[in-house]
Structure 1
Amino acid sequence: MQSLSLAPAGEFSGVQFVLTDMDETLTYQGRLAASTYDALERLQAAGVRVMPVTAAPAGWGDQMARMWPVDGVIAENGGIFMRRDAQGHGVERSWWADEADVTPMRNRLASIAARVASAVPDARVADDQVFRLASLAWQRTGTSRDGQIVAALRAAGAETAVNNLWVLGWLGGYDKLSMSLRVLTDAYGVAPATAAEVVAYSGDSTNDAPMFGYFRHTVGVSTVVDCLPQLPVAPRWVTAGPGGAGFVEFANAILRARGV
């Protein structure tokens, strides 16, 4: 992992898509800066397709897909993809699960949540759980409680991840990478082998590991150093700034490489 400032001038000239984590990658301390929003808009204006890929709830993703300068949003760690419809006011949704399996999946998640509540009675459900459609989330504490929630989820047959905000559980065997590759293929006609070369990804957390391992152009915002011991593959570059400031650095490097 090297400082992004050392990247050769043309390093990102072939980038056609920017996929990015949201929490503490686009945001910093929970806030989205105007400069970060502007960077998203400048990337789009330059012809780069932009897509947040986040563990955040579908409810947040719906709002982003409707109103942000993005081409779509993958929410809930890969559980659902949303993009603005042709009229510009509605949202099209694609689930990882088959449509017929969505209701049974949600019923099973409710059962799993009850099992976790019984096994870890002091676990605090994330305050955004009401906006989730395909996953479960508990507030991360950085204590042994997080591990207890993970153990309870796995015992119930759920997939798990821990990021900088939440302990997450879901069903279906997907992650950020598998849904991203599906969306790139189905929605944009980009085969996985091609995607590895034309996608740039930015993130900051352990659930970004599959993305860091697959794509050629990867950057961690500066706070990624906090989770490097848990990352099997580090991002190729690291920014000087944290959160959205780091994302702006990455966006500027891509735009410079495109002559913008």
Structure 2
Amino acid sequence: MSVIATLRPLARAPTAALARVRFVLTDMDDTLTHQGRLSARTYDAIERLRDAGIPVLPVTAAPAGWADQMARMWPVDGVIAENGGLFLRRTADGDVERRFWHGNAERTIATERLERLRQAILGELPAVELASDQPFRLCSLAFRVPADSGLRAALVQHYRSAGAEVTVNSLWVLGWFGGYDKLGMARRVMREIHRLDIDAEADAIAYAGDSINDAPMFAHFPTSVGVSTVTDFLADLPRPPTWITRGPGGDGFVELADALLAARTKPFPFSEPRSAGDHT
């Protein structure tokens, strides 16, 4: 039986398991977005979760520059950016606090190593292209994913030969120095910000993703959800997500939000329906 055939539809997830979820961590590109766009219904789903007391934290390979805007303006509880390199969170006065994985001295060394690696890769693989968002990154080095699989493999090998961590998603071949990943920073953020031990209470979190760099999160959280396009990456995932949505990208995330909110609803027979303006 193929891996795809064994994936379970999110619609069959037990209500009790969904009702235990207190936080949603989610990849962004091709999980909240679809074909590079964030839909109004996806943004609304994030807001509905927040209003129901389920904070949403994007956990993304996207650059710090993107994450800064998200942390400032989106209805999210904060953003883990650059695959775990830093966490950004809106402060009470509307500014953004940054928490890096590394201290200042370590970060300086890592930045210098990334610059040497950038020069070496461009010198030896002139056909590869830096990601257009590279100027907005603070602790990672990203290239566009080459269409040629041989060139893609050579690029990944350059990172590894330099001792860098590397991952591939739908947009980038991304590298960094430091031994962290999405799960490592999520563990730190949830402990320091929310006093939640994600090893002891993994079922308090639902995670949504779509690609290879989501693998540690899929493996850790029992309520892990792949949007439908995760099937493109199953061959490279050590462990698939527990559940899969019908729709791709943001539509899949909306399915997850709806399922979580429905699981929290307890019907009361004989009660009068609420009016549109009644939020008590």
Q: TM-score, normalised by structure 2?
A: 0.90
The superposition leaves residues 168-212 of structure 1 with CA deviations (integer Å, 9 ceiling, x where unpaired) of 110000111011001111111111323411010000001100000
Q: Match of 1:223?
A: 229
Q: Match of 2:26?
A: 20
Q: In the TM superposition, what are the counterparts of 1:189-228 in structure 2 within 5 Å?
A: 189-228=195-234
Question: What amino acid does structure 1 have at the position aligned with 2:54?
Answer: V
Identity of aligned pairs, percent? 54
Give yes or no for the alignment of 1:92 onto 2:69.
no
Question: What amino acid does structure 1 have at the position aligned with 2:141?
Answer: L
Q: Match of 2:50?
A: 44
The superposition leaves residues 88-114 of structure 1 with CA deviations (integer Å, 9 ceiling, x where unpaired) of x10000001112322222122111111
Number of aligned residue pairs = 259
- Taking the aligned partners of 1:159 and 1:197, their CA distance within structure 2 comes to 28
Contact 1:62 / 1:82 at 8 angstroms: preserved in 2? yes
SS of structure 1 residue aligned to 2:107: helix
Instruction: Structure 2: give runs of 5+ residues left out of the alignment.
Output: 1-6, 267-280
- Taking the aligned partners of 1:116 and 1:157, their CA distance within structure 2 comes to 14
Contact 1:119 / 1:152 at 8 angstroms: preserved in 2? no
Give yes or no for the alignment of 1:241 onto 2:237.
no
Q: Match of 1:131?
A: 136
- Taking the aligned partners of 2:111 and 2:42, their CA distance within structure 1 comes to 34
Contact 2:212 / 2:236 at 8 angstroms: preserved in 1? yes
Q: Match of 1:116?
A: 121
Question: What amino acid does structure 2 have at the position aligned with 1:113?
Answer: R
Question: What amino acid does structure 1 have at the position aligned with 2:242?
Answer: R
Give yes or no for the alignment of 1:166 onto 2:166.
no
Contact 2:17 / 2:203 at 8 angstroms: preserved in 1? no
SS of structure 2 residue aligned to 1:193: coil
Q: Which moved more, 1:65-74 or 1:182-191?
A: 182-191
SS of structure 1 residue aligned to 2:154: helix
Question: How far off its partner does 1:132 sit?
Answer: 0.4
Q: TM-score, normalised by structure 1?
A: 0.97
Q: Match of 1:79?
A: 85
- Taking the aligned partners of 1:124 and 1:195, their CA distance within structure 2 comes to 41
- Taking the aligned partners of 2:22 and 2:181, their CA distance within structure 1 comes to 22
Question: What amino acid does structure 1 have at the position aligned with 2:265?
Answer: G
- Taking the aligned partners of 2:201 and 2:112, their CA distance within structure 1 comes to 34
Contact 1:115 / 1:156 at 8 angstroms: preserved in 2? no
Question: What amino acid does structure 2 have at the position aligned with 1:221?
Answer: V
Contact 1:181 / 1:195 at 8 angstroms: preserved in 2? no
SS of structure 2 residue aligned to 1:121: coil
Give yes or no for the alignment of 1:259 onto 2:265.
yes
Question: How far off its partner does 1:121 sit?
Answer: 1.3
Question: What amino acid does structure 2 have at the position aligned with 1:36?
Answer: T
Out of 72, 75, 78, which is 1:69 matched to?
Answer: 75
Contact 2:128 / 2:146 at 8 angstroms: preserved in 1? no
- Taking the aligned partners of 1:77 and 1:153, their CA distance within structure 2 comes to 15
Give structure 1 regions of 4+ aligned residues with deviation exceeding 4 angstroms.
none
Question: How far off its partner does 1:8 sit?
Answer: 2.6
- Taking the aligned partners of 1:105 and 1:206, their CA distance within structure 2 comes to 23
